[in-house]
Chain A
Amino acid sequence: MSQSIVDVVDLKMHFPVKRGFFRRKVGEVKAIDGVSFSINPGETLGLVGESGCGKTTVGRCITRLYRPSEGQIIFEGSDISHMSEHKIRQHRKRMSLVFQDPYSALNPRMHAKDIVGETLKTHKLVSGKKEYEERIAELFIMSGLSPDMMDRYPHEFSGGQRQRLSIARSLACDPTLIVCDEPISALDVSMQAQILNLLQELQEKKPNLSYLFISHDLLAVQYISHRVAVMYLGRIVEMSNSVELYANTLHPYSQALLSAQPVPDPVVEETRSRIILTGDVPTPLNPPNGCTFHTRCPRAKPECSATVPALVDVGNDHFVACHCL
Chain B
Amino acid sequence: MGNLLEVNGLTTEFRTERGVVRAVNNISYHLNEGEILGIVGESGCGKSVSQLSIMQLIPSPPGKVVAGEVLFEGQDLLKYTKNSKEMCQVRGNKISMVFQEPMTSLNPAMTINKQMSEVLIEHKGVSKREAREVCIDMLGQVGVADPKRRADDFPHHMSGGMRQRVMVAMAMLCNPRLIIADEATTALDATIQAQLLELMYGIVNKYNTALVMVTHNLGVVARYANRINVMYAGRIVETGTVKEIWAKPMHPYTEGLLKCVPRLGEKLVAIKGMPPSLIGKPDTCPFLPRCKDRQQCCFENPLPKPTLVDGQHYTSCMVRLEGMA
Task: Write the residues of chain A forming the contact surface with B, with a CB cutoff of 8 angstroms.
Answer: 50-51, 158, 160-161, 188-194, 196-197, 216, 218-220, 222-224, 246, 256-257, 259-267, 269, 274, 276-278, 280-281
Taking the complex as formed, is B159 at the interface, i.e. its CB lies under 8 A from any CB of chain A? yes
> What 6 A-B pairs come out closest when comparing CB atoms?
A262-B219, A193-B260, A223-B262, A260-B194, A193-B270, A50-B189
Interface centre among A50, A190, A194, A257, by most B CB within 10 Å? A190
Which residue numbers of B lie inside 8 Å of A, CB to CB? 42-43, 159, 161-162, 189-195, 197-198, 216-223, 242-243, 246, 256-264, 268-272, 274-275
18 intermolecular pairs with C-beta atoms under 8 Å apart:
A50-B190, A188-B42, A188-B275, A190-B271, A190-B275, A193-B270, A194-B270, A196-B262, A196-B270, A216-B190, A246-B264, A260-B190, A266-B222, A267-B246, A269-B219, A277-B191, A277-B194, A280-B159
Q: How far is the CA of A224 from the CA of B220 in the complex (A)?
A: 22
A50 to B42, CA, bound (A): 23
Say what secondary structure dominates the interface of chain A. Answer: helix
Best-surrounded residue of A51, A160, A260, A264 (most CB of chain B within 10 A): A264
**Residues B189 and A192 in contact, CB atoms below 8 Å apart:** no
> In the complex where A188-B42, A190-B42, A246-B264 touch, is A266 in contact with B274 (Cβ < 8 A)?
no
Rounded to whole Å, the gap between the CB of B223 and the closest CB of chain A is 4
Q: Which residues of A contact B257 (CB under 8 A)?
A: 189-190
In the complex, besides A50-B190, A193-B260, A281-B191, 13 extra interface pairs with C-beta distance below 8 angstroms are A188-B216, A189-B218, A190-B270, A193-B261, A196-B268, A260-B194, A262-B194, A262-B197, A263-B219, A264-B221, A266-B222, A276-B194, A276-B198
In whole Å, how far is A123's beta carbon from the nearest beta carbon of chain B? 33
Q: Complex: how many Å from CA A219 to CA B270?
A: 15
- Distance, CA A240 to CA B46, complexed state (A): 41
A158 to B276, CA, bound (A): 10
Closest to B44 in A: A188
- A242 to B, closest residue via Cβ: B264
Decide if A256 touches B222 in the complex (CB within 8 Å): no
A262 and B189 contacting across the interface, CB-CB below 8 Å: no
Residues from chain A with Cβ under 8 Å of B162 in the complex: 280
Cβ–Cβ contact A262 & B264, under 8 A: no
Q: When A260-B193, A266-B243, A280-B162 are in contact, do A189 and B260 touch as well, CB less than 8 Å? A: yes
Task: State the CA gap A197–B264 with chains docked (Å).
Answer: 15
Contacting pair A264 B222 (CB below 8 A): yes
Q: Select from chain B the residue with minimum beta-carbon distance to A161.
A: B274
Q: Which residue of B lies closest to A200 (CB)?
A: B268
Nearest chain B CB to A108's CB is how many angstroms away? 17
Q: With A50-B189, A222-B264 known to touch, is A158 a contact of B274 (CB < 8 Å)? A: yes
Measured between C-beta atoms, what is the minimum distance from A261 to chain B in Å?
6
CB-CB < 8 A to A196: which residues of B? 262, 268, 270
Report the minimal beta-carbon distance from B17 to chain A, rounded to whole angstroms.
12
* B191, A264: Cβ atoms closer than 8 Å: no
Pick the residue among B190, B256, B270 that contacts A261 (CB under 8 A).
Answer: B190
Alpha-carbon distance between A191 and B274 when the two chains are bound, in angstroms: 7
Q: Which residues of A contact B275 (CB under 8 A)?
A: 188, 190
Determine whether the beta carbon of B222 is less than 8 Å from that of A263: yes
Smallest Cβ distance from B37 to chain A, in angstroms?
A: 14
- Give chain B residues whose Cβ lies under 8 Å from the Cβ of A190: 42, 256-257, 260, 270-271, 274-275
**Distance in Å: Cβ of B263 to nearest Cβ of chain A:** 7
Considering the complex, give the chain A residue whose CB is closest to the CB of B161: A280
Across the interface, A257 reaches (CB within 8 A) one of B191, B217, B258, namely B191
Q: Which of A51, A160, A219, A267 contacts B189 (CB 8 A)?
A: A51
A160 to B43, CA, bound (A): 12
Contact present for A219 and B198 (CB under 8 Å): no
Check B261–A264 contact: CB distance below 8 A: yes
B168 to chain A, nearest CB (A): 15
CB–CB B195/A277 < 8 A: yes
B139 vs chain A, min Cβ distance (A) = 16
B242→A266 contact, CB < 8 A: yes
Residues of A near B260 (CB, < 8 A) are 189-190, 192-193
Q: What residues of chain B lie closer than 8 Å to A189, measured between beta carbons?
A: 42, 216, 218, 257, 260-261
* A160 neighbours in B (Cβ, 8 Å): 274
Closest to A258 in B: B190
Cβ of A216: which chain B residues have Cβ within 8 Å of it?
Answer: 189-190
Which residues of the other chain, A, contact B269 by a CB distance below 8 angstroms? Answer: 193
In the bound complex, residues from chain B placing their C-beta under 8 Å from that of A267 are 243, 246
Residues of A within 8 A of B262 (CB): 193, 196, 219-220, 222-224
- Asked whether A193 and B191 contact (CB < 8 A) given A188-B216, A264-B258, A280-B159, the answer is no
**B192 shortest CB reach to chain A, Å:** 7
**How near does chain A come to B106, taking the closest CB pair, in angstroms?**
17
Contacts of B263 in A (CB 8 A): 219
Please give the distance in Å from A31's CB to the nearest CB on chain B: 16
Judge whether B270 and A264 touch: CB under 8 Å.
no
Are B219 and A264 in contact (CB-based, < 8 A)? yes
Q: Given known contacts A189-B42, A192-B260, A260-B194, is B223 in contact with A223 (CB within 8 Å)?
A: no
Inter-chain contact A266/B264, CB cutoff 8 Å: no
Cα distance, A262 to B188, chains bound together (Å): 14
A186 and chain B: residue at smallest CB distance: B43
- How far in angstroms is the closest Cβ of chain A from B221? 8
Whether A262 contacts B217 by the Cβ 8 Å rule is: yes
Instruction: Give the complex CA separation of A194 and B43 in angstroms.
Output: 16
CA distance A51 to B193 in the complex (A): 12
A289 to B201, CA, bound (A): 35
List the A side residues contacting B189 at CB < 8 Å: 50-51, 216, 281
Shortest CB-to-CB span from B91 to chain A, Å, is 29
**Which of B161, B191, B192, B242 has its CB near the most chain A CB atoms (within 10 A)?**
B191
Q: What is the distance, in angstroms, from A247's C-beta to the closest C-beta of chain B? A: 9
CB distance from B227 to the nearest CB of A (A): 11
Q: Separation in Å of the B71 CB from the closest CB of chain A? A: 29
> Quick one: closest A residue to B243, CB to CB?
A266
